[in-house]
Each structure stands twice: as C-alpha cells, then as structure tokens.
Amino acid sequence: MNADIAQQNRSQAQTLIDALSTPVLSHFIDGQNYLRQDGATISNRSPVDDTELNQTAQGNEADVATASLSSEKAFESWRQWPAEKRRDVLHAIADRIEANAESIALMETADTGQPLRFTGKTATRGAENFRYFADLCTRAADGHSYPTPTHLNYTMREPIGPVGAITPWNMPFMLATWKIAPALAAGCTVVHKPAEWSPLTATLLAKIAFEAGLPAGVLNTVQGLGNEAGSALTQDPRIKAIAFVGGTQTGSRIMAQGAPSLKRVHFELGGKSPVVVFDDADLDRAVDAVAFMIFSLNGQRCNAGSRLLVQRSIHDQFVERLIQRAQKICVGNPFDPATEVGPLIHSKQLTKVKEHCFNAVQAGATMHCGGVNALSAHLPAAGNWFAPAIVSGVTPAMDIVQQEVFGPVLAVLPFDDEAHALALANDSRYGLSTYLWTGNVGRAHRLARSFQSGMVWVNTEIARNLSTPFGGMKDSGIGRDGGDWSFDFYMETRNVCIALDGHAIPQIGKL
C-alpha cells in the first residue's frame, strides 16, 4: 500500500472535480452548462470518508423539457448528416476520451470508490464503444431484400428520434458510452440522465463530445434524481425510446411511466448469475475466474458471478482455496494503485450488503471471511468498507441466494450431478449470465442450451466482444446490446414492397 501516492491521486481528483464544478456540477444542454432555475442541488459525497466531493444540479421536469426540446431540434439536422461524417465525429470523441483517460479514471474513482486499477481502463473501454459503433455508421441504415417471382420487398432503417439514456452508478462512464455511442451512430440524438450517486463523468463526457465536434443538442446531459429528472425523461413525449441500465424494480417503474407515451424500452437489469463448477474443470483457472467475477469492481457488477454452484466431490477444497484467495485481496483506498477492492458506493449500499450477510448467518449460514470485521484499522471510519465475503451452508430459498446483493459477497451451494446443477442454476428470477466450468465438451454444449440466461460463458470470465448480443432473460432485461442488435433498438425499420410486371391483382366488382 502506498498512502502518499493515494493522497496525491486523491488531491488531483479533487482539483479536476473543482474545475468541472464551477461552482456546481451542471447539466450540459445545447452545448452549454445549464443549471436549474431555483438552484436546487444534490450533495455528492466520497465513498472513502463521506466528505463532500461537489454539489450537483438537481434536474427537474423543466430542465428535462429544455433538454428534450434541444434534442428534438438537433435531431432534424443530425439525422441528415452523411454517415461518413457521423463516423468521423464519433472517432474524434474516442480520441478525446483517450486523451482524457487519466482525468476520467481519477474522477470515476472519486465518485464510485472503484479502485484505480479498474477505472484506469474506463477510458479505453469507453473509447472502444465509440470506435466500434463509429465504424458501423455507414451500415446502420442498411436493410435486407426479399425477392419473389412477383414482388420485391426491401427494408431500410432510419433513426427513431431523440432517445433517453438512463444509467446506473456501478460503471458510470463505460455504461454511458455503451448506450450513447450506438444511439449517435444510428442518427439519434440523446438526453442522458446519469445516476445521482455518480454524476461526474457524465457531464465530462458531454463536454468531451461537444469539444470533439458533436453539434450542440445532439448529446444533452441532465443530472438529478431518478424519481424527478429520470421520471420526467421517461414521460416526455418528444423522447421516443428509453435505453435503461439499472435495477429490475426501476425498469418496471419506467415501463409504467413510459406507457402513456408508448415508449420503446430497452432494459439491462439486475442479475444473480450462477457459476457452475464441475470436478472435471481446470480448477486453477476456475478459482481465478470465480474470485475475479465476484470481487472485482467491488462486486458491484450486473454480471457478478454471485452464486457459486460447486460439485460436491470438490466442494470443500474449492471453497477453501477461494477463502484463502479472498483473504489476500487488498481492500483499501481506491486511489492506491495496489488496492483491489475499494469502498462501496454509498452508506445505503453498505447497509444492504451487511444486512444480507447478517440475515444469512442468522438463518444458519456460515460466513467464512470478509465483512466489516475483517477490515484494516487504518481505513477511515466514515467510509463504506466491506471485505470480500464467502457464505456457505445456504439453502436455495435464502435471500442471499435469490436476491441481488450487489457487493463482494459470494453465496455457495453444492450440487450432485448435471441435473441438480441445472435445476439450481435456473432457480432464479434473474437470467443475465451463467458461467460454466467443465472439461467435458459435450456437457458444455448440452448445458449451454438449457441455462435460462441471455449469456453463457464456458471456461472463461466475462470476455466482451462488441459484435455479440449482450442482455438478459427473465427479470434481467428486455432486448440485446451489441452490433446490429443495438441498431434495431435505436432505429425504425421500413419495408417497401414493389410488384414486378405480370403480377395479377385480385379483382372485385367486375362481375
């Protein structure tokens, strides 16, 4: 651990935050900083020690209306831009994101408590999202043709209009770019409402995009609370679709709020993804992957492998290896490059994680490591610290197995055979990812067909390829992101049917 480096990084982050918040972190609408008229703000606090990082504008219905109107106006010209020109400006945004990589990492760490070792890659991931969709711009409007002897049908696509993007706090910058880049590539304009617990990099992104040449109004950012700014955005009649990443309950609310104006919705929601480990797996690699997928990013990741299902024959030794690994994970100041797990984002999140573990233990489970008792005495008392925890002796019905904890907590269940593993894996309201570890290729293919999840990862941690469909089944989401799937959401498809000569038109009234 290096306290001096951590302190330097933190001071540098605060200097950047102060420069961005002049004096308040504002919305960015129509190419300008914009504040709510009555000046209402939200206090944004540090997960490390609860000191105030900045004040953020608290957007209201009027602010959202201003942003939506601006996006509606900008849409008329943005949609007409030649695809090559759109491509070039998206690449310019990616260049500028990369040039700001250090600022983005420092601000993201200050805002979220995610260790610098992870936020250091945020700009690269965000820029990749822009570059990938930039290169698809020229194909976004493409359609298909369906010729028959009598008719030719062909399809074409056009952008749906101004869209709303509502994003969560766990990976704020990356997730914002993930929604915004394909929408802009499709020719849509965007009003973005980031999470109130992690507002900083959203305003920064809007400024970066504008400075890179994105016309005013094409990307507007409105800060604020979900039940105020977020709710107004989902109800604004100018907004044609809502791309939402966040909790399942919120998704359900957004669907209801958007119903009167018939909003198209795309939902990336919660998860309780199982990791299924058979005794024929490469257990060294499996230990690495299991620990990474639940403890990296402070366990605050939608795709966390939070339910470990392990074959009974190897249960005890595998769990023991994981406990040893978890105990060695470096929990501390997220500004220290050595830190692997930082504080949780908010005291409310900490309370939720603590309660889940407490309730499980009360119900008879065993917490082998982690929690608040395993922390170093040097950590600031007001921070939201929670060391990586492994809980076994649980039953399938317990909350800790069924509910999304969204923290560094792994619940472990043994299974006997393939059928038992499959039943346990699918015994969930969620269906985002399943991770499977086995050396048997036939079993891998067989199970991959039967898991109830949008994504199945075999013998690997999550390894994202932007061309593949990303999304969940059941309560984990509606729709898929990635490649052409993204364009299907942000665009309307028109079919044109043309008759060829000689086609006989049915006749009536000629008798």
Provide the b/e sequence for 442-479 (b: ≥16 CB within 10 Å): ebbeebeeebbbbbbbbeebbeeebeeebbbebbbbbb
The candidate with the shortest Cα–Cα distance to 161, out of 91, 92, 246, 69, is 69
Give catalytic status of residue 302 as yes or no. Answer: yes
Stretch that binds ligand NAD, among 84-92, 109-117, 189-197, 434-442 (CB under 6 A): 189-197
Sheet holding 264-268, edge to edge: 32-34, 27-29, 219-221, 190-193, 163-166, 241-245, 264-268, 477-478
Q: Which is nearer to ligand NAD, 170 or 392 (CB)?
A: 170
Least Cβ distance, residue 509 to ligand NAD (angstroms): 54
Q: How far apart are CA 469 and CA 458, in angstroms?
A: 16
Cβ proximity of 412 and 319 under 8 Å: yes
Stretch that binds ligand NAD, among 133-141, 153-161, 268-276, 420-428 (CB under 6 A): 268-276
Cβ proximity of 338 and 332 under 8 Å: yes
Q: Which is nearer to ligand NAD, 109 or 248 (CB)?
A: 248
CA 142, 148, 149, 154 dihedral sign is negative
Q: In the range 387-416, which residues lie near ligand NAD by CB under 6 A? A: 404, 406
298 φ/ψ angles, rounded to the nearest 5 degrees: 60, 20
Length of the chain: 511
- Choice from 87, 131, 193, 272 touching ligand NAD (CB under 6 A): 193
Q: In the range 240-259, which residues lie near ligand NAD by CB under 6 A? A: 245-247, 250, 253-254, 257
Stretch that binds ligand NAD, among 41-49, 65-73, 266-274, 459-467 (CB under 6 A): 266-274
46 φ/ψ angles, rounded to the nearest 5 degrees: -75, 130
Q: In the range 276-335, which residues lie near ligand NAD by CB under 6 A? A: 302
Q: How far apart are CA 33 and CA 210, in angstroms?
A: 12
Work out whether 271 is an interface residue with ligand NAD (CB under 6 A): yes
Number of residues that bind ligand NAD (CB under 6 A): 32
- Choice from 231, 428, 433, 438 touching ligand NAD (CB under 6 A): 231
Q: How far apart are CA 246 and CA 242, in angstroms?
A: 12
**Eight-state DSSP code of residue 485:** H
CA separation, residue 210 to residues 96, 101, 124, 238, 286 (Å): 10, 17, 19, 22, 44
- Choice from 123, 166, 309, 389 touching ligand NAD (CB under 6 A): 166
Q: Which is nearer to ligand NAD, 281 or 297 (CB)?
A: 297
Q: Which is nearer to ligand NAD, 336 or 481 (CB)?
A: 481
Strand partners, 274: 307
Least Cβ distance, residue 332 to ligand NAD (angstroms): 23
Q: In the range 431-490, which residues lie near ligand NAD by CB under 6 A? A: 432, 472, 477
Least Cβ distance, residue 170 to ligand NAD (angstroms): 5
- Choice from 128, 268, 340, 475 touching ligand NAD (CB under 6 A): 268
- Choice from 6, 67, 191, 195 touching ligand NAD (CB under 6 A): 195
Q: Which is nearer to ligand NAD, 230 or 274 (CB)?
A: 230
Work out whether 109 is an interface residue with ligand NAD (CB under 6 A): no
The candidate with the shortest Cα–Cα distance to 375, out of 343, 346, 351, is 343
Site string for ligand NAD, 352-391 (x = CB under 6 A): ----------------------------------------
Choice among 268, 340, 357, 404 that is catalytic = 268
Give catalytic status of residue 418 as yes or no. Answer: no
Work out whether 170 is an interface residue with ligand NAD (CB under 6 A): yes
Least Cβ distance, residue 101 to ligand NAD (angstroms): 21
Q: How far apart are CA 285 and CA 184, in angstroms?
A: 39
Q: How many alpha carbons fall within 13 Å on the CB side of residue 502?
A: 3
Question: How far apart are the two ends of the chain, measured CA to CA in Å?
Answer: 93
Work out whether 60 is an interface residue with ligand NAD (CB under 6 A): no
- Choice from 51, 227, 313, 467 touching ligand NAD (CB under 6 A): 227
- Matching residue, tokens 């269906």: 431
Residues at the site binding ligand NAD, with contacts judged by CB under 6 A:
166-170, 175, 193-196, 226-227, 230-231, 234, 245-247, 250, 253-254, 257, 268-271, 302, 404, 406, 432, 472, 477
Q: Which residues are catalytic?
A: 268, 302
